Amino acid sequence: MTQTATLSRKNIIGMENLTSEDIEIILDTADSFKEISTRAIKKVPTLRGRTIINLFFEPSTRTRTSFEIAGKRLSADVINISGSASSTVKGESLIDTARNLEAMNPDILVIRHNCSGAPALISQFINCPVINAGDGAHEHPSQSLLDLLTIREHKGTLKGLKVAIVGDITHSRVARSNIRAMQTMGMEVKVVGPPTLIPVGIEELGVEVCYDIGEGIRDADVIMVLRIQLERQNQGLLSSLREYSNYFCLTEKHLSNVSNDTLIIHPGPVNRGIEIALDVMEGPRSLILDQVTNGVAVRMALFYLLLGESDANPN
Ligand code: CP
């Protein structure tokens, strides 16, 4: 592939910053990279000699691993740093940490942080591209991109699709990124959950709000189920997990009232039996593992497009 398309942004901080053209370019590029991961030798020389640093201040299974695999499949050198093993625990500031890492001349810094705005802040102090791998309750753009790729793959299009996002909307960076991205791509978004987990005034973003799961998912082409964040259970937002589950766990009974073509996605990690029933999670409409597979391709596309390899050849 010779790169002809370029993104309007040097950093990937949030979906609110990406145009529909940017999103199409990323999804098309990811699509073209998927085949590499099916080869016996899953490596191309495209980013040979490039260096990627993954700096994660929060736990991660999918995002961190797939950014690492994506870099390695493109032959980049990938370095992983955990926040707990960095000198921030000795008192170094986040900005000093980023500037010291940049002094070693990486080509991209990928960062996950529990504080909303941390990747945007860092991007103001260093010159190499920054990718937000999830910041607080703000945004998780690469998750949204892999969600869109998965939906487009199965529906053939994004425009005009109806999506119901079910669960803890208030604390979800995945919901925030997807609401923005889906609207950019001409999709209709409904948020579904208990009033305590849906931000007041969210209608102003142009989404519909529904407090009943049966009604909320009835006309959905895609149901995105979100994780109930167990770490927030002490905030008094739910009386109990059992009660949440009674009212909002997505079950086969709910699905009997929606189209057979309705797709189920979930960003993971999943609380089995709390937000989604086991048979739904593992049933034929569930694309949860397809999302994970697509995460590698999307992250390969981001690296490739941000590093602007005009003579890159993935073959
Ligand atoms: N979806 C997601 O961000 O999962 P991880 O926390 O495991 O990276």
- Which residues have a Cβ under 8 Å from the Cβ of 57 and sit 6 or more positions away? 82, 83, 84, 88, 111, 112, 113, 114, 118
The answer to whether 194 and 211 are in contact (CB under 8 A) is yes
Asked, for residue 28, whether it belongs to a domain, the answer is yes
Asked, for residue 9, whether it belongs to a domain, the answer is no
Is residue 40 predicted with pLDDT exceeding 90? yes
The pLDDT of residue 176 = 97
Is residue 3 predicted with pLDDT exceeding 70? no
Q: Are 121 and 189 contained in the same domain?
A: no
Asked, for residue 314, whether it belongs to a domain, the answer is no
Is residue 136 predicted with pLDDT exceeding 90? yes
Q: Are 174 and 232 contained in the same domain?
A: yes
Is residue 5 predicted with pLDDT exceeding 80? no
Q: Are 107 and 232 contained in the same domain?
A: no
48 is known as an active-site residue: no
Q: Are 72 and 199 contained in the same domain?
A: no
Q: Are 19 and 127 contained in the same domain?
A: yes
Q: Are 69 and 174 contained in the same domain?
A: no
Q: For 177-222, write each residue's pLDDT tens digit.
A: 999 999 999 999 999 999 999 999 999 999 999 999 999 999 999 9
Asked, for residue 8, whether it belongs to a domain, the answer is no
The pLDDT of residue 4 = 63
Pocket test for ligand 1, best of 54, 61, 65, 275 (most atoms within 8 A of CB): 61
Task: Give the burial string for 13-24 (b: 16+ CB within 10 Å, else e).
Answer: bbbebbeeebbb
Q: What's the rounded mean pLDDT across residues 236-243?
A: 84
Q: Where in the sequence is the domain holding 128, given as residue range(s)?
A: 15-138+292-306
Minimum-distance ligand 1 atom for the alpha carbon of 61: 7
Q: Are 185 and 224 contained in the same domain?
A: yes
The answer to whether 55 and 109 are in contact (CB under 8 A) is yes
Asked, for residue 10, whether it belongs to a domain, the answer is no
Q: What's the rounded mean pLDDT across residues 2-26?
A: 90
What are 258's two structure tokens? 């929606």
97 is known as an active-site residue: no
Q: Are 148 and 246 contained in the same domain?
A: yes
Q: What's the rounded mean pLDDT across residues 115-122?
A: 98
Q: Are 254 and 221 contained in the same domain?
A: yes
Helix (H) or strand (E) holding 64: helix 62-73
- Which residues have a Cβ under 8 Å from the Cβ of 233 and sit 6 or more positions away? 241
Q: Are 132 and 232 contained in the same domain?
A: no
Residues with CB under 6 A from ligand 1: 60-63, 134, 140, 143, 267-269
Domain count, the chain: 2
190 is known as an active-site residue: no
The pLDDT of residue 60 = 97
Q: For 69-90, write each residue's pLDDT tens digit.
A: 999 999 999 999 999 999 999 9
What are 89's two structure tokens? 């625990």
How many whole angstroms from its chain centre is CA 150?
12
Q: Are 186 and 267 contained in the same domain?
A: yes
Q: For residues 115 and 200, give the distance between their C-alpha atoms in angstroms, rounded to a whole number.
A: 21
Q: What's the rounded mean pLDDT across residues 252-262?
A: 97
Is residue 315 predicted with pLDDT exceeding 50? no
CATH number at residue 65: 3.40.50.1370
The pLDDT of residue 310 = 45
What are 51's two structure tokens? 């260096």
Asked, for residue 297, whether it belongs to a domain, the answer is yes
Asked, for residue 7, whether it belongs to a domain, the answer is no
The pLDDT of residue 229 = 83
Is residue 2 predicted with pLDDT exceeding 60? no
Catalytic residue of the set 63, 170, 184, 262: 63
63 is known as an active-site residue: yes
Asked, for residue 43, whether it belongs to a domain, the answer is yes
Catalytic residue of the set 2, 4, 38, 90: 90
Is residue 314 predicted with pLDDT exceeding 70? no
Q: Are 134 and 258 contained in the same domain?
A: no
